[in-house]
Amino acid sequence: MSSLRVLGIDPGLTRCGIGIVDVDRSRRASLVHVGVVRTPVDADLSTRLAAVAAGIRAAIDEHRPGAVAVERVFAQHNVQTVMATAQASGVALLIAAEAGLPAATHTPSEVKAAVTGYGSADKRQVQSMIARILRLDAPPQPADAADALAIALCHAWRGGAAAAALGGSLTPAQQAWADAERGARAPSRSPRARVGRTDVRPAR
């Protein structure tokens, strides 16, 4: 396998982040596509889930990924938020199966550790590292889109057969960041950012 194209999904009902990356055997990653599928909060649940499904299918049809990775649902105090995330996650996994694509889920801490070397990194740290890894002019916005790219990278670098194909060690950039984080022993906070459509381009 010379490269792997992964579709990462940050599941959500109001905002569903979608990020696609190519990762080669040297573990060098490049941006393919990033965006957010939005649904109106006043629409019927079935309509909103159908819109999320349509957005994911469109990304698969256009960019032909070889694997799908979805952030694993984790417990929160807001039950309504957990249910919406779980519903969107189920839709994403179903569409991957329908497309015949291998799919996996990764916890938020696994994703943060894969991208920054630090499982408790905050949103800003993840966004900054995504920009460095993908050689972007600025950190990806909105946060849901950046999270989707991080999920895709996590799967490419740590996701079982994908990791075996591409190698299992941290990139030099990841290692440098991880060393800095461990030295600083900085506490982390992960507030949920408000999001919108993203438009980022690789640095030249």
Q: What is the pLDDT of residues 30-48, one digit of tens each?
A: 999 999 999 999 999 999 9
Would you list which residues are annotated within the binding site for Mg(2+)? Answer: 10, 71, 144
Q: Is residue 148 part of a domain?
A: yes
Would you list which residues are annotated within the binding site? Answer: 10, 71, 144
Q: How confident is the model at residue 123 (pLDDT cuts 50, 70, 90)?
A: confident
CATH code for the domain of 148:
3.30.420.10
Domain coverage including residue 21: 3-111+144-167
Model confidence, pTM: 0.78
Q: Is residue 201 part of a domain?
A: no
**Catalytic-residue membership of 199:** no
Of 32, 2, 35, nearest to 20 (Cα)?
32
Q: Is residue 120 part of a domain?
A: no
174-201, pLDDT tens digit by residue? 454 445 445 543 444 433 333 344 444 4
Give CA–CA dist 1/123, Å, rounded.
32
61-113, pLDDT tens digit by residue? 999 999 999 999 876 667 777 888 999 999 999 999 999 999 999 999 999 99
**Catalytic-residue membership of 71:** yes
Neighbouring-strand partners of residue 38? 15
Q: Is residue 191 part of a domain?
A: no
SS3 for 74-139, per residue?
CCCCCHHHHHHHHHHHHHHHHHHHHCCCCEEEECHHHHHHHHHCCCCCCHHHHHHHHHHHHCECCC
What whole-number percentage of the chain has pLDDT above 90?
58
CA angle 92, 96, 101 (to 5 degrees): 150
**Catalytic-residue membership of 98:** no
Total structural domains in the chain?
1
Q: Which of 44, 61, 98, 144 is catalytic?
A: 144
Neighbouring-strand partners of residue 6? 21, 67
Q: Is residue 40 part of a domain?
A: yes
Q: Is residue 184 part of a domain?
A: no
Query: Is 150's pLDDT higher than 80?
Result: yes
Q: Is residue 48 part of a domain?
A: yes
Q: How confident is the model at residue 52 (pLDDT cuts 50, 70, 90)?
A: very high
Q: Which of 22, 71, 110, 181 is catalytic?
A: 71
Q: Is residue 193 part of a domain?
A: no
Q: Which of 10, 22, 147, 181 is catalytic?
A: 10
